[in-house]
Amino acid sequence: MDPLSDVRQKIEQRLESFAAELLAYTGEQLPDAQPMVAQMVALTLRGGKRIRGQLLAAAAEACAPWTTVETAGIEVGAALEWLQSYLLLHDDWMDDDSLRRGAPTAHVALGERYGNARTGATLAILAGDLACALAQQTVMQAAAPVDRVGAMGAVFAEIQRDVVLGQTLDVLGSEDVDRMRQLKTGSYTVRGPLALGHALANGTAAALVVLRAFGEPIGLAFQLRDDVLGVVGDHVRTGKHARSDLNPARRNAVVMAALATMDDRRRADFDRLCRSTDDASVADAQAIVAESGAVHTVETRIAHACAQAIDALKDGSLRPSGVALLERLAHAICERVS
């Protein structure tokens, strides 16, 4: 079997078995908490590509044979999915998003279930807090030598701190968009998983330098691809509303590039369409973006970042089998359609 598909499938199985145990426990011991736990679990299982775990596995294989660390690696890959659920649950409430991974967001679903939006918000925050604790617990229980578990735990906490600081800059509309993106998305999507794979496989200092040089542009490309998909992607595939990305306050890179091409009048038209919630206005706003050439501008940046990342791998510090997997993932991240 293809090694990356194998990783994806094993993480999926791990998440499913853990979810079943957790739901059995809360169903029996804490039935009142069950709907909250069920929302958190369902969001996690709707996840999909498990790209972070694949990056972790590729980085580990670049430092030592994956098979020697696989059991713990799958655990930590699963932990990254709990971490992501934590961040999504909090972000979705903060951004007031209603759709995530093709289903209502947790604060909306729980608000409806209890007939009270405030209770929904409270339980969504708690669902995130629970996912955060599970992520930590999963890392700390991973079957690896204790020094590596400790190193992974430290990386994990650092990821978490960076994401929270990045989200703070985001909600406050900080001017420092690059810094915000690097902290918010780069850390837990690319930089963190690579550092975890390196720590798990006890890689050399030189290997970490190369993994960072690879991770920086790939983190950027991941975000830019998200931005392209958010504006012109198939919303059935992305599982999000296009309208939320069109909002200029979100500072989607495609929208920013499009705004830069507009005169004041067109910008006013665009703003009006973005504030509207009907599907026709969303389609019109998308058309304006499409005509502006902004997608092309951003696609060029993605292609450049991808080439830069792959180039960084060629320094000889990493094992060739790992380099091959990292290259594949670079293309998969830069060229994905959902």
- Interface contacts to a second copy, rule CB under 8 A: 26, 29-30, 32-33, 36, 90, 93-94, 119, 122-123, 125-126, 129-130, 132-134, 136-137, 139-141, 146-147, 149-150, 153-154, 156-158, 160-161, 164-165, 167-169, 171-172, 174, 176, 179
Q: For the CB of residue 114, give the shortest distance to a second copy in the complex, in Å.
A: 8
Q: For the CB of residue 227, give the shortest distance to a second copy in the complex, in Å.
A: 21
Q: 169, 153, 144, 131: which is closest to 44 by C-alpha?
A: 131
Report d(CA 139, CA 79) in Å as an integer: 6
- DSSP result, 17-71: HHHHHHHHHHHHH-GGGHHHHHHHHHHHHT----HHHHHHHHHHHHHS-GGGTHH
Residue with tokens 């931005």: 227
Q: Which is nearer to a second copy, 35 or 266 (CB)?
A: 35
Q: Which is nearer to a second copy, 123 or 285 (CB)?
A: 123
Q: For the CB of residue 86, give the shortest distance to a second copy in the complex, in Å.
A: 8
Q: For the CB of residue 125, give the shortest distance to a second copy in the complex, in Å.
A: 6
Q: Which is nearer to a second copy, 147 or 291 (CB)?
A: 147
Q: Which is nearer to a second copy, 30 or 337 (CB)?
A: 30
Q: Which is nearer to a second copy, 110 or 289 (CB)?
A: 110
Q: For the CB of residue 79, give the shortest distance to a second copy in the complex, in Å.
A: 10
Q: 232, 223, 229, 239: which is closest to 105 by C-alpha?
A: 239
- Render the burial of 16-26: b for 16+ CB within 10 Å, e for the rest: eebbeebeeeb
* Ramachandran area for residue 176 (φ above 0: left; ψ -120 to 50: alpha; else beta): beta
